[in-house]
């Protein structure tokens, strides 16, 4: 009996030692969640961002990691399934115990994840242009807000190209609908009549564009300069642009400016008929700087393919990752609240030159560029802002938003603070 108790005690000590060892090993790494679609309609865009995060993790580990610990990526596939984004985010935070998540592309996926990261006090870096009308203490928005993409693009169409009629064509979900609501109000404030604005939505993955493109062609044949503002997302862009070419829509007649088409999307399209059409972003691969050249080389070396392109959401991922790493070092912790506080005012180098700044509303200040499609699938920059543009979380052109500000510093500590009533209408820091 005595020997039996000794064996049980030894087994218990061994089990305890293994358990402590497992905890120690877990504590030896900083877990980085990667929440991007690797299958489904958005895989054409998001899978590249997964690889971008893995490349940045590898680079950081070569530098020694953070706080003396290696970074450990945890990759999941929400498969372009919006409710699944929430499930996978919960799994990353609750089960995998990640310290940060880099992920989402569409706004509907971000909206799905938002209540999860707020409930569990996680940290999400969102790297894609979006519709604004949001600021969360648990999210840092490194893509463009409407005033950093949509509004400057429309100004360019009016001021530089003389556009008088506008087709607002988008995928049917929150980002295009809200962005077009802002743009419709903005166009009307510029004197554009109702009959000179055509709005059309299509589902994700839409492939039959013949009748829609025919309507666009007809709309543009009324004697006024017409332009298309495209918030079409994902793999639906490929048949859309092909149909433009099929119907002979030339950029000189009806230019298209896209907010969701970059080098990655054009890599699957014969760009010959599309030369002259436009895109508005904060980054293009074609911009020549030492930082961008180094990033492109790093990407080609990592992916093992010198033909793979870079794009704006990759730069936004790069900026967000580097800012997060700086904030972790500044806070000397991966604790969400400490890192979030440390993020305000953090700067890092843009790939197109200059410096990105994280503002109190969890949005960046960065430049705006408009590029023209070339026959090699790259963009020639035809216009850019003189300096940095601060991202605006709340639109000045929507009645319910123009009085709202976001400020995650004391004494406000609120994502939608009404500057007139001096009240916080939503999530506030505790």
Instruction: Provide DSSP, 389-415.
Output: EE--SS-TTSTTTTTEEEE-STTT-EE
Higher pLDDT, 430 or 150: 150
Angstrom CA distances, 373 to 74, 143, 228, 257, 368, stand at 36, 21, 15, 10, 16
The average pLDDT across 163-190 equals 96
Rounded-to-integer distance, Cα 38 and Cα 67, Å:
31
Share of the chain above pLDDT 90, in %: 83
Cα 94 to its chain centre, rounded Å, is 24
pLDDT at 347: 98
pLDDT at 289: 97
pLDDT at 235: 82
Quote the tokens at residue 10. 């030894």
Rounded-to-integer distance, Cα 420 and Cα 370, Å:
35
Q: Which residues of 76-86 are buried (b: 16+ CB within 10 A; e: fewer)?
A: bbbebbbebbb
For residue range 239-257, list pLDDT tens digits in order: 898 899 899 998 999 999 9
CB 208 within 8 A of CB 265: no
Model confidence at 14, in pLDDT bands (50, 70, 90)?
Answer: very low
CB 180 within 8 A of CB 186: no
pLDDT at 1: 45
Residue 18 has pLDDT above 50, yes or no: no
- Count how many residues are written for the chain: 430
For residue range 90-127, list pLDDT tens digits in order: 999 999 999 999 999 999 999 999 999 999 999 999 99
The average pLDDT across 333-354 equals 97
pTM summary value: 0.89
| Radius of gyration for the alpha carbons in the chain, expressed in angstroms and rounded | 23
Q: Which of 113-117, 236-240, 267-271 has the lowest mean pLDDT?
A: 267-271
Residue 2 has pLDDT above 70, yes or no: no
Residue 12 has pLDDT above 80, yes or no: no
DSSP 316-374: HHHHHHHHHHHHHHHHTS--HHHHHHHHTT-EEE-TTSSEEEE-TTSBEEE--EEEEE-
Rounded-to-integer distance, Cα 299 and Cα 307, Å:
10
Rounded-to-integer distance, Cα 177 and Cα 398, Å:
13
Model confidence at 15, in pLDDT bands (50, 70, 90)?
Answer: very low
Query: Bridge partners of 365?
Result: 357, 390
The average pLDDT across 400-422 equals 95
Bond from prior residue into 411 cis (ω within 30 degrees of 0): yes
Mean pLDDT, the chain, integer? 92
pLDDT at 23: 41
Residue 17 has pLDDT above 90, yes or no: no
Model confidence at 295, in pLDDT bands (50, 70, 90)?
Answer: very high
pLDDT at 242: 86
- Domain coordinates of the chain in residue numbers? 24-145+292-365
Provide the total of helices (H) and of strands (E) in the chain, helices listed first. Answer: 12, 19
Residue 170 has pLDDT above 90, yes or no: yes
CB 365 within 8 A of CB 268: no
pLDDT at 6: 53
What's the DSSP call for residue 69?
B
Q: What angle do CA 413, 415, 418 make, to 5 degrees?
A: 90
CB 203 within 8 A of CB 170: no
Rounded-to-integer distance, Cα 314 and Cα 127, Å:
8
DSSP 193-229: -GGGEEEEEE-TT----HHHHHHHHHHTTSSS-EEEE
Residue 318 has pLDDT above 50, yes or no: yes
Number of neighbouring beta carbons within 10 Å of residue 191:
9
The average pLDDT across 342-369 equals 96
Share of the chain above pLDDT 70, in %: 92
CATH number of 24-145+292-365: 3.40.50.2300
Residue 7 has pLDDT above 80, yes or no: no
């Amino acid at each position: 009996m005595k020997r039996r108790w000794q064996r049980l005690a030894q087994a218990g000590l061994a089990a305890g030692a293994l358990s402590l060892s497992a905890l120690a090993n877990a504590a030896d790494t900083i877990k980085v969640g990667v929440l991007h679609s690797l299958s489904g309609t958005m895989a054409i865009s998001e899978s590249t961002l997964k690889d971008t995060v893995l490349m940045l993790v590898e680079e950081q580990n070569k530098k020694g990691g953070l706080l003396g610990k290696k970074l450990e990526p945890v990759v999941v596939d929400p498969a372009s399934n919006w409710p699944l984004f929430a499930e996978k985010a919960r799994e990353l935070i609750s089960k995998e115990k990640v310290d940060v998540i880099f992920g989402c592309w569409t706004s509907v996926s971000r909206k799905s994840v938002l209540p999860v990261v707020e409930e569990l006090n996680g940290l999400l870096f969102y790297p894609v242009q979006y519709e604004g009308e949001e600021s969360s203490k648990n999210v840092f928005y490194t893509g463009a807000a409407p005033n950093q993409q949509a509004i400057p693009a429309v100004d360019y169409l009016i001021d530089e190209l003389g556009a008088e009629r506008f087709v607002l064509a988008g995928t049917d979900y929150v980002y295009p609908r809200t962005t077009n609501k802002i743009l419709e109000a903005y166009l009307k404030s510029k004197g554009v009549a109702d009959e000179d604005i055509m709005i059309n939505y299509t589902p994700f993955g839409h492939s039959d564009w013949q009748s829609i493109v025919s309507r666009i062609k007809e709309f543009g044949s009324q004697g006024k300069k017409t332009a298309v503002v495209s918030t079409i997302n994902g793999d639906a862009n490929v048949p859309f642009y092909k149909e433009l070419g099929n119907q002979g829509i030339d950029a000189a007649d009806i230019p298209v400016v896209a907010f969701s088409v970059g080098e990655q999307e054009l890599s699957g399209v014969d760009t010959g008929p599309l030369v002259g059409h436009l895109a508005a972003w904060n980054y293009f691969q074609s911009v020549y700087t030492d930082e961008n050249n180094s990033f492109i080389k790093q990407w080609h070396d990592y992916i093992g393919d010198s033909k793979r392109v870079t794009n704006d959401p990759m730069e936004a991922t790069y900026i967000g990752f580097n800012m997060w790493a700086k904030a972790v070092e500044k806070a000397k912790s991966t604790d969400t609240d400490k890192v979030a506080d440390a993020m305000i005012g953090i700067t890092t180098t843009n790939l197109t030159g200059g410096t990105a700044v994280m503002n109190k509303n969890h949005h960046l200040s960065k430049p705006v560029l408009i590029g023209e499609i070339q026959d090699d699938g790259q963009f020639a920059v035809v216009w850019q802002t003189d300096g940095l543009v601060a991202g605006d979380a709340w639109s000045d052109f929507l009645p319910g938003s123009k009085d709202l500000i976001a400020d995650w510093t004391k004494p406000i500590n609120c994502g939608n603070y009404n500057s007139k009533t001096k009240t916080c209408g939503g999530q506030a820091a505790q």
